[in-house]
Amino acid sequence: MAIEQPATRPANPRFSSGPCAKPPTFELNKLADAALGRSHRAAVGKTKLKDAIEGTREILGIPADYKIGIVPASDTGAVEMALWSMLGARKVEMLAWESFGAGWVTDVVKQLKIDAEVKTADYGQIVDLASVDFANDVVFTWNGTTAGVRVPNGDWIADDREGITICDATSAAFAMDLPWDKLDVTTFSWQKVLGGEAAHGVIVLSPRAVERLETYTPAWPLPKIFRMTKGGKLIEGIFTGATINTPSMLAVEDYLFALDWARSVGGLQGLIARADANAKAVFDFCDANDWIANLAEDAATQSNTSVCLKFTDDRIQDGAAFAKAVAKRLEAENIALDIGAYRDAPAGLRIWCGGTVETADIEAMLPWLAWAFEAEINAQ
């Protein structure tokens, strides 16, 4: 039976999991104060870079003795500079339950060829966190963006660990509480939860991470864009705004705007509440409809940012083609853009619920999802 198109449309159809929707108050002209055409080493540029670092510290509640650096190549650059600079000092445990975590496994096992214990879980599940041995270094992704599975909290991370923890928090930072005392290296990119621009990554180092950098020299060469020390000492400038190479001052201005917007919605707790409300609207929709379900099996691990969904109706003949067709229908109606599951993930949809998305837009989009589902069942 065909169902009628819902009357209400989302004001903003952007539900992409990265680059994510800009803050609702964003307009290009709000970046007019950008230090364009000036050296990023001039006072104006340096001040803005320092404001970006200290604004990050303020909103994320990062301790005063942690270092925050703006680095090249987005989150990938930030993670890889940590892997290449710090690993190899001791055995490493690699935890992965979706494609980004799996990418870091490839780096460590196939490229760096480090002695590693690899623990993986299928999409929708998570590895046995209780089995992790913190005598080792541990690399993991806080929120697996392509599976919609996150660690439930940081309780499983030992306070008295001997190794360091390296956490890719790209789709978690600004949407989830991150326990800084448990995280030695934390990375994210601007293009995710705050809806910033791509290209720049952020790396956050605990005092223990700095100690590793200053006391351990890897056996392999490091390119300039990965180097955080000189003569066995941390290059402090990287963590005060003297970036390794030239940053985009337009992207910096955009990030400063996003941080201001974050303050206006109540900082981190306001952002978390917005993501939680968005995700709850999707979870409730799944509870109310027996043809769709959360890919994340355990409620404690269900992401509040990259919510991944699978179709469960046994009338569906070709799961991958069906999910693609539903996403295409919603895109054609300008209801939801870029919500197809990640290319390596199981067939389905992925709806970004981070704080820059308005709950009213999620609520307006969901009845359309029901409409597109019915239309596609009829069209098979």
Shortest Å distance, C-beta 76 to ligand PLP: 3
Nearer residue to ligand PLP within complex by CB, 75 or 338: 75
Rg (Cα) of the chain, in Å, rounded?
21
Sign, Cα dihedral of 226, 229, 231, 232: negative
Q: Which two tokens stand for residue 10?
A: 């989302």
| Phi, psi dihedral angles at 320 (to 5 degrees) | -70, -45
Residues 17-56 that bind ligand PLP (CB under 6 A): 18
| Contact with ligand PLP (CB under 6 A) among 16, 56, 76, 302 | 76
Shortest Å distance, C-beta 2 to ligand PLP: 36
**Residue 16 within binding range of ligand PLP, rule CB under 6 A:** no
Please state the separation of Cα 262 from the chain's center in Å.
16
Nearer residue to ligand PLP within complex by CB, 74 or 304: 74
**Residue 338 within binding range of ligand PLP, rule CB under 6 A:** no
Nearer residue to ligand PLP within complex by CB, 74 or 186: 74
Q: State which amino acid sits at residue 39.
A: S
Nearer residue to ligand PLP within complex by CB, 171 or 301: 171
Place of tokens 């992401």: 303
CA distances from 344 to 178, 252, 337, 348 (A): 27, 31, 19, 11
Shortest Å distance, C-beta 189 to ligand PLP: 3
41 and 47 Cβ atoms separated by less than 8 Å: no
Residues 122-141 that bind ligand PLP (CB under 6 A): 141
Shortest Å distance, C-beta 17 to ligand PLP: 6
Nearer residue to ligand PLP within complex by CB, 145 or 302: 145
Report the alpha-carbon distance of residue 305 to residue 319 in Å, rounded: 24
Shortest Å distance, C-beta 191 to ligand PLP: 5
**Residue 254 within binding range of ligand PLP, rule CB under 6 A:** no
| Contact with ligand PLP (CB under 6 A) among 74, 85, 294, 302 | 74
| Contact with ligand PLP (CB under 6 A) among 15, 84, 100, 123 | 100
* String of contacts with ligand PLP for each residue 185-204, x by CB under 6 A: ----x-x------x------
**Residue 206 within binding range of ligand PLP, rule CB under 6 A:** no
Annotate 41-77 with DSSP letters as a single string: TSHHHHHHHHHHHHHHHHHHT--TTSEEEEEESHHHH
Shortest Å distance, C-beta 139 to ligand PLP: 12
Of 41-49, 108-116, 167-175, 282-290, the window that binds ligand PLP (rule: CB under 6 A) is 167-175
**Residue 168 within binding range of ligand PLP, rule CB under 6 A:** yes
Annotate 270-296 with DSSP letters as a single string: HHHHHHHHHHHHHHHHHHH-TTEEES-
Nearer residue to ligand PLP within complex by CB, 170 or 186: 170
Report the alpha-carbon distance of residue 128 to residue 226 in Å, rounded: 31
According to DSSP, the β-strands at 165-168 and 185-189 are parallel
Q: How many residues in the shown chain lie near ligand PLP by CB under 6 A?
A: 13
Nearer residue to ligand PLP within complex by CB, 18 or 241: 18
Shortest Å distance, C-beta 153 to ligand PLP: 18
C-alpha angle 303/86/208, rounded to 5°?
A: 80
For 248, residues 6+ apart whose C-beta sits below 8 A from its C-beta are 197, 199, 200
Nearer residue to ligand PLP within complex by CB, 140 or 368: 140
For 32, residues 6+ apart whose C-beta sits below 8 A from its C-beta are none
Of 2-10, 72-80, 267-275, 363-371, the window that binds ligand PLP (rule: CB under 6 A) is 72-80
| Contact with ligand PLP (CB under 6 A) among 136, 165, 170, 278 | 170
160 and 120 Cβ atoms separated by less than 8 Å: no
182 and 157 Cβ atoms separated by less than 8 Å: yes
Shortest Å distance, C-beta 196 to ligand PLP: 10
**CA nearest neighbour of 311 among 359, 360, 374, 378:** 374
- Catalog residues that contact ligand PLP under the rule CB under 6 A: 18, 74-76, 100, 141, 145, 168, 170-171, 189, 191, 198
